[in-house]
Amino acid sequence: MNECKIVAVLNRKGGVCKTATTHNLGVALVQRGYRVLLVDCDTQRNLSISLGLNRPDEECYTLCELLQPLIDVEVDEVDIQNCIHHLENGVDFIPNKQALSTVEKQISTLDFRRECILFDALEDVRLDYDYILLDCMASLGMLAVNMMMACDTVL
């Protein structure tokens, strides 16, 4: 496969197995030989918790730290490779923390390209993966808009 496909697992309703779908689809694709990155884009952090990262510490870079420099030019840029956790089953993932809700508020105040923050953040790893799966929150706020703009397909 030559071109990375970004898939957002999105539904406005909570409790409809978005996280389970993202996780299981990612594992199934890895088992078929694809390179897969899972991204926890939900403020509840269900994907991060299900993958074993219950409490990200200060040393753990997450989606929040990845997005922050794209919102605030005074924040130092974070290399996306430092955000990626490599799991034993072959799945890679970018965890999240609850501060993502604050990041969403900051994105909403931007005037320029606020819909493309996530798209820009993932740019550096598109060539490294066949699939990037986004576990989305039950919302249609600015983060959900970013997820839809960043993806090729919505499930």
Instruction: Set out the domains of the chain in order of their start, with CATH numbers.
Output: 5-154 (3.40.50.300)
Query: pLDDT value at position 84?
Result: 95
Query: pLDDT value at position 59?
Result: 62
Spans in the chain with pLDDT lower than 50: none
Query: pLDDT value at position 77?
Result: 87
Picking from 44, 11, 4, the residue whose alpha carbon sits closest to that of residue 154 is 11
Enclosing H/E stretch for 36:
strand 36-41
Determine contact, residues 25/38, Cβ cutoff 8 Å.
no
Determine contact, residues 102/141, Cβ cutoff 8 Å.
no
29-73 tens-digit pLDDT: 999 999 999 999 988 888 999 988 766 555 678 898 889 888 887
Instruction: Give pTM, 2 decimals.
Output: 0.90
Rg (CA), the chain: 14
Instruction: Give the torsion sign (CA, 114, 116, 119, 122).
Output: negative
Picking from 50, 57, 46, 4, the residue whose alpha carbon sits closest to that of residue 27 is 50
